[in-house]
C-alpha cells in the first residue's frame, strides 16, 4: 500500500467521493510527506497547517452530506509564493517582502478555493521569479527530489519539487520564460503554461507583465487539465484577461494524435542539447509517428535571437514593475534621513544580486538614447518570433522540442555565470514571446537517473490540440507517474 500522498488528483478525488479516504487523511499524508522531505528539499517557504486543517475539515463536512464543492474538493494544493494569499505571508522569494501579509487572494487562488482545494502552503522560488534554479531565492535554495545535490529548476522550483515529492498533489506556478515547464522537466512532473490571458494575473506579483502567466504543475496530464479548467476564466480585474470562450479540455485526453501534424523544431534539436535529452525526445517523436501523427522538421530562424530579445524585454518590464518596492507600501523598510535615502537603503538591502542586475539592465535598455538600440530592437525580434510561429502553424498543428537542453544540474554549478543560467531557457522562451500555450511532459530518465521533459507548443488558444498530443506522449513514454528515490522509502507508510 502506498501513501495517499502518492495518488494522482484524479485518483484522490475518486477516493474522496467514494468515502474511501477523507480530506483530513489526505492532508495528513501530504503533511507527513513534507515532514519527511522538507529538511532536504526546502520546497516550501510557508506551510499553513492551521488553515489547511480547517479547510480539510470543512471539505469533509461537505463530503459527509454527499456533496462536493468542485473538481478540487479536498485536494492538497501548493501555491508559488509570488501569488498573494489573504492573511498568509507572501514574499515572492524576496527579502524586500519579508513579513508582507496580503489583504486579498490572487484570482487564481480564489478559483482554487472555490473548487474546494485545500491550500497547504506557499512554495519557494527564485526572487520575483527571476532565475532557472531556485537558487536566487532570498530564503535559500530548494533541492531536486531525484538528487538532492541538484537544482529543481526554476523559478517555480519549490512547486515542482513539492509535487514530485508528494508534499502537494498539484501546484500553481508562474511562467515568464519557462518557469513552470523547466522545473517540471527537471523534477519529472507535468508543467503547463497556458495561452497568455487565459488565467488571470490579478494578484500575481508582476515580473514581466507582457509575458507572465500562471499555470498548473501536476503528476499527470489529466490533472493539469483539471487544474487549468479551474483557474482559467475571464477576470475583469486583469485588463489582459481573455474575453472569448473557455472550452473544456477533458475530451482531448482520449482523442489520440492520428492525423495530427507534428513539427520538430530544427533549431532546438541539435547544438547545445545534451545527447540523452535528444535521444529521449527522438524516441517520443517516433512513438507519435506510430500513433498516427505525421512528423516533419520545421525551421524557425528567429529562435536564435529569442533568448537575447527576452533578456532585454523581461528586465525592461521588471525595472518598471519593481519600482513599487520603495519601503513605503510593502514589507521591508530601512530608515534613512530623507525619503530618497530610505528608499535607496531599502532597495539595496531588500533585493538580491540577480534582481538588482535585472533592474539595472532593464533601466539601461529603456533609457533615452539606448531605447531604440535595445528595447526597440528586442520588440522587433519578438514580432519576428510571432511571425515564424504563425508561418510554421500553417503546415503543422503542434511544434515539439526538449523542454530543457539539460537535466538537473548541480547546486552551485551555474550561480557564478548568469549567462549560462540564461541559456537554460532557450527552448521555453519562444512560447512566452508569442503568448502561446506550451507543456512539458516527463518522458524518460537520463544516464544519471534524472528526469527528461518533452515540450509541446501550440498556437495561441490551441490548448485542445496541445493536450491531445501531451496525453499521447504520456501514454507512449510509459512514464507512469514514476516517483523519485527520495520518497520511495515512504511507499510502505
Ligand atoms: N529563467 C527565466 C528568467 O530568469 C524565466 C523565469 C520565469 O519564467 N519566471 O527570467
The per-residue pLDDT for range 142-167, each reduced to its tens digit, is 999 999 999 999 999 999 999 999 99
Mean pLDDT of 74-101: 98
- pLDDT value, residue 486: 86
- 179 included as an active-site residue: yes
DSSP symbols for 258-310: TT-EEEEEGGGSSTTS-HHHHHHHHHHHHHHHHTT-EEEEE--TTHHHHHHHH
Which of 136, 152, 177, 316 for a ligand 1 pocket mutation test, highest count of atoms within 8 Å of Cβ? 177
Q: What is the pLDDT of residues 190-225, one digit of tens each?
A: 999 999 999 999 999 999 999 999 999 999 999 999
Q: What is the pLDDT of residues 365-415, one digit of tens each?
A: 999 898 899 999 999 999 999 999 999 999 999 999 999 999 999 999 999
Q: Where in the chain are the domains?
A: 4-256+458-491
- 155 included as an active-site residue: yes
Which of 94, 151, 176 for a ligand 1 pocket mutation test, highest count of atoms within 8 Å of Cβ? 176
Mean pLDDT of 280-285: 97
**Residue 257 in this model has a pLDDT that exceeds 70:** yes
| Band of residue 493 on the pLDDT scale cut at 50, 70, 90 | very low
Average pLDDT, the chain: 96
Q: 174: closest CA among 182, 186, 165, 163? A: 182
CA distances from 441 to 427, 458, 469, 485 (A): 14, 14, 10, 19
Residue of 132, 137, 167, 179 marked catalytic: 179
- pLDDT value, residue 491: 53
Residues with CB under 6 A from ligand 1: 129-132, 155, 175-179, 207, 314, 425
How many angstroms separate the alpha carbon of residue 420 from the centre of ligand 1?
Answer: 13
Which of 80, 93, 126 for a ligand 1 pocket mutation test, highest count of atoms within 8 Å of Cβ? 126
| Band of residue 1 on the pLDDT scale cut at 50, 70, 90 | very low
The least confident of 180-184, 194-198, 242-246, 369-373 is 369-373
**Residue 492 in this model has a pLDDT that exceeds 50:** no
Ligand 1 atom nearest residue 208's Cα: 9
Is it true that domain 4-256+458-491 has CATH number 3.20.20.105? no
How many angstroms separate the alpha carbon of residue 14 from the centre of ligand 1?
Answer: 36
How far is the C-alpha of 140 from the C-alpha of 157, rounded, in Å? 12
- pLDDT value, residue 161: 98
Residue of 3, 155, 156, 401 marked catalytic: 155
Amino acid at each position: 500500500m502506498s501513501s495517499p500522498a502518492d495518488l494522482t488528483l484524479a485518483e484522490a478525488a475518486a477516493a474522496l467521493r467514494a468515502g474511501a479516504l477523507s480530506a483530513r487523511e489526505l492532508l495528513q499524508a501530504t503533511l507527513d510527506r513534507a515532514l519527511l522531505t522538507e529538511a532536504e528539499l526546502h520546497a516550501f517557504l510557508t506551510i499553513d497547517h492551521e488553515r489547511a486543517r480547517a479547510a480539510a475539515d470543512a471539505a469533509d463536512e461537505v463530503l459527509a452530506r454527499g456533496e462536493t464543492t468542485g473538481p478540487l474538493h479536498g485536494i492538497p494544493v501548493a501555491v508559488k509564493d509570488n501569488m498573494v494569499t489573504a492573511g498568509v505571508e507572501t514574499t515572492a522569494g524576496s527579502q524586500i517582502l519579508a513579513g508582507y501579509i496580503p489583504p486579498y487572494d490572487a484570482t487564481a487562488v480564489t478559483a482554487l478555493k472555490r473548487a474546494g482545494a485545500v491550500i497547504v502552503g506557499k512554495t519557494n522560488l527564485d526572487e520575483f521569479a527571476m532565475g532557472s534554479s531556485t537558487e536566487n531565492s532570498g530564503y535559500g535554495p530548494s533541492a531536486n527530489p531525484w538528487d538532492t545535490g541538484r537544482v529543481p529548476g526554476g523559478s517555480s522550483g519549490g512547486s515542482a519539487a513539492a509535487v514530485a515529492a508528494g508534499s502537494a498533489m498539484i501546484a500553481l506556478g508562474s511562467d515568464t520564460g519557462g518557469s513552470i515547464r523547466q522545473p517540471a522537466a527537471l523534477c519529472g512532473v507535468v508543467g503547463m503554461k497556458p495561452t497568455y490571458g487565459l488565467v488571470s494575473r490579478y494578484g500575481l506579483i508582476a515580473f514581466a507583465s507582457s509575458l507572465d502567466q500562471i499555470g498548473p504543475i501536476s503528476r499527470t496530464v489529466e490533472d493539469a487539465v483539471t487544474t487549468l479548467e479551474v483557474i482559467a476564466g475571464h477576470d475583469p480585474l486583469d485588463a489582459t484577461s481573455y474575453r472569448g470562450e473557455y472550452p473544456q479540455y477533458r475530451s482531448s485526453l482520449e482523442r489520440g494524435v492520428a492525423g495530427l501534424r507534428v513539427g520538430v523544431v530544427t533549431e532546438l534539436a541539435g547544438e547545445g542539447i545534451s545527447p540523452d535529452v535528444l535521444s529521449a525526445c527522438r524516441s517520443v517523436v517516433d512513438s507519435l509517428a506510430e500513433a498516427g501523427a505525421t512528423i516533419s522538421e520545421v525551421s524557425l530562424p528567429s529562435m536564435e535571437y529569442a533568448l537575447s530579445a527576452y533578456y532585454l524585454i523581461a528586465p525592461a518590464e521588471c525595472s518598471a514593475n519593481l519600482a513599487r518596492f520603495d519601503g513605503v507600501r510593502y514589507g521591508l523598510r530601512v530608515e534613512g534621513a530623507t525619503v530618497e535615502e530610505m528608499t535607496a537603503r531599502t532597495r539595496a538591502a531588500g533585493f538580491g544580486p540577480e534582481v538588482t542586475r535585472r533592474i539595472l539592465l532593464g533601466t539601461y535598455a529603456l533609457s533615452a538614447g539606448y531605447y531604440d538600440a535595445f528595447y526597440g530592437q528586442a520588440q522587433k525580434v519578438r514580432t519576428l518570433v510571432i511571425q515564424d510561429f504563425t508561418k510554421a502553424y500553417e503546415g503543422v498543428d503542434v511544434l515539439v522540442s526538449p523542454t530543457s537542453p539539460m537535466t538537473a544540474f548541480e547546486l552551485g554549478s551555474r550561480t557564478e555565470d548568469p549567462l549560462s543560467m540564461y541559456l537554460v531557457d532557450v527552448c521555453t522562451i519562444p512560447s512566452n514571446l508569442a503568448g502561446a500555450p506550451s507543456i512539458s511532459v516527463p518522458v524518460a530518465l537520463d544516464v544519471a537517473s534524472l528526469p527528461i521533459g518533452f515540450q509541446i507548443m501550440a498556437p495561441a488558444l490551441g490548448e485542445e490540440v496541445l493536450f491531445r498530443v501531451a496525453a499521447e506522449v504520456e501514454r507512449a513514454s510509459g512514464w507512469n507517474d514514476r516517483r523519485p528515490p527520495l520518497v520511495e522509502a515512504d511507499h510502505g507508510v
